[in-house]
A and B are shown apart, each in its own frame.
Chain A
Amino acid sequence: MTAQASPLATKAPAPATNPPAGPPKSKRRGRRSIFVRRPFFTVSLIVALAYLLAAIFAPYVAPYDPVLQSYDAMMQPPTAAHPMGTDSYGQDILSRTIFGARFALIIGFFSVIIGAVGGLVIGLAAGLSGGWVEWGLMRLIDSILALPSLILAVAFIAILGQGVDKVVIAVGLSMIGPFSRTVRADVMRVRVQGFVEAARLMSIPSLQVVWRHVLPNVIFPLAVQVTIRISEAILVSSSLSFLGIGVTPPTPDWGLMIAEGRDFVSFAPWMSAMPGFALALLLIALSIVGDGIREEFDPKGRRGA
């Protein structure tokens, strides 16, 4: 969406200076870098990037094939050969955990994109329309929000079936509600501002006002939301897999691995614990990164609202 928007925006000569991006930047310039001021943020960002690297280079980093079963090495506790132990099929848990990062990040990223695009469309429509249309759209958003994202994702999975692609769609659709609410709030904030009013008074076609003045001011906070909500998407998708209705075995998905280990917790606790801690560490890191980004860049947070 943003990638499509930028070439069109550069074609027009005038709006090179986007009004909202200006003031925060100049304010930040005099201060020390965010990485120095927020050590926890920096550490968490490094952790998150390490996951990303592990995901990208999984085949080179992982010592074994993640779905290679071995009947000679079933349910072994952590040893030198298998640093995180093996599961009930003799699959190496370390390799599965590394490949699991791949699935977690892919599912998290793409489902958040689906949610953000859907939320952008509904949120823009709700924020720009008035009267009955707005009222109706607001009730529609209320209705989506009346269902927690996991329950909504379960309902979509019931229709779509299981698998990685289905999980991405189900989680993505279930995140449209929260995204559309924040987009609408941003549109409401932008559309009463002076430059929008001025553009309207110059009788610029309203579609162009939206494209050139409203949208750029909504995209940035939306991008912030996207980074914040990736952890939520990862949590919901691994929850689906944990429930046994998300990704199907033998895919190395953390939620699935935790569920498989649950039955053996009394004598092979590492089966759940290893992928579990991988998931927990990523979620905690992402949430600290998200908090940092929100506090630094979210215009609403800065105004103390």
Chain B
Amino acid sequence: MTQIKYMILASRQGKVRLVKWYTPYTPKEKTKISKELPPLILSRKPKMCNIVEYSDHKVVYRRYASLYFICGITPEADNELLTLEIIHRYVETMDTYFGNVCELDIIFNFGKAYAILDEMLMCDGAITESSKRDVLSHIHSMDTMEGSDQLERITS
């Protein structure tokens, strides 16, 4: 069962590039996690496992080029290996959307990065859609609609 607590994208310098909370943490807790976690993850060596025990839960992360994708997960409920797959799916989807995605794409188009994420994970961090094509087609439709800026009747 996927029940991701939060997702943080951090650069190799430890700067947060995107952050999404799926659990209602207090502002204090949020600050603590986003300050503590990136340095902890950055200090890990390449061969070490991608699952870290942190505070009262676990953290699963994966590095793509200069960007670290970090997910807090619910112990017992979440399947750590599946979380890694979800991260990968997200990256793949962004890769198709942006065409060879890089850190800068995400920095300048964080709105789109959030939109894609929101199509994949909902509510308490549950996976909502496993088809990459499905996610992308809806994002594209919304982009077009935003572009033409009109509320036309859309029939499915």
Chains A and B bind each other: no
